Copies of this chain bind each other. A is one copy, B any other.
Amino acid sequence: MSRRPTILDVAARAGVSKSTVSLVLQNSAQVKAETREAVRAAMAEIGYVYNRAAAQMRSQTAGLVGLVINDLRNPFFTEFATVLQMTLAAKGYATVIANSDEDPDLQAKLIGSMIEHGVSALVVSPAYDDAGDAFDQIARAGIPAMQVLRKTDPRTGLFPFASFDYAAGSALATRHLLDQGAKRIAFVGGMEGRAITEERKSGYLAELKRAGIAPFTHHGRSSRAFGVEAVNNLPDDVDAAVCFNDLVALGMLSGFARAGVELGRDFRLVGFDDIEDCAQVWPLVSSIGCDIESFAQDVADGLLAWMQTGETPPPEHRAPVELIARTSSTGTID
């Protein structure tokens, strides 16, 4: 039990040269099947473990992908991270995951650390208010990197942006609420001025304009807590709401439950993202479904192609969304 065995030990054991062992490790077709088997057997016998650091140093590629997320505790991002990690793992890439916790300085540090670790590519759902350091760093390192779900760097040629068609989503939600007979619809949640808030609001505003109804927006944090409080901060004539996201909608659901207001009858609600909870609370919460699983897979596939063939993903990709109408907006039970 001295040191870990190396390819030299494997070579000695199998009676071949170390180059041959290296070729076997890379599944090269130029090694005879028989030789390959002998080498594999030798590896198993002596308990050889591939040393990626050495390989990485020589070949300049680590089989490592970095993922930096602004809020990893948000189930929407967790699901994204999980599917991305699993898809990449299936292709032989390990994923270094980090939560920037909406902190641009931490984000810059994390990205720097990942670059040092030699990640082959990065996926970033960026914190807002970044001074540009994060992506400048990546640009200097010349690593393929994508912006997902949030865009903070305008260089989408360099850092392609992938997200959902949020404007279409809120338009769908608004039209649906009007169809259900809503007279005055509020838009609740989301920090004013942020790109994602404005996108999600734009479809709502467009539909209301078309219907000749005045909008009412109540902005704020995208949390359950904000949703709970929002219930008490709406004008009396508001009888429906499009929420910035499901967390806000779920918070409003709790607030209304507490206040004895029956959702789907006294008030109509549509969330955004269709996280799992929407179908598991009562009343069931209508939402704009963003198929995060397919989205994460698409991102993974695009990234793999980029790393392997050099083919850059399109500068902007908008995944389709759909309305999932449930009790909170229809009042019907299923």
Contact = CB atoms under 8 A, between A and B. Distances in A.
A38 B76 CA distance: 46
A89 interface: yes
Interface stretch (A54-62, A174-182, A195-203): A54-62
A53 B62 contact: yes
Given A97-B97, A257-B282, 17 more contacts: A47-B140, A49-B115, A52-B117, A52-B118, A62-B117, A64-B117, A72-B78, A73-B75, A78-B78, A85-B98, A86-B101, A89-B110, A228-B280, A251-B280, A253-B282, A255-B282, A257-B281
Say which size band chain A's interface belongs to. Answer: 35 or more
Nearest to A223: B280
Nearest to A86: B99
Given A79-B73, A96-B94, A54 B52 contact: no
Given A57-B53, A254-B280, A257-B282, A114 B86 contact: no
Q: 8 closest Cβ contacts across the A-B interface?
A: A257-B282, A254-B282, A224-B280, A53-B56, A97-B97, A53-B57, A258-B282, A50-B116
Interface in A86-141: 86, 89, 92, 94-99, 101, 106, 109-110, 113-118, 140-141
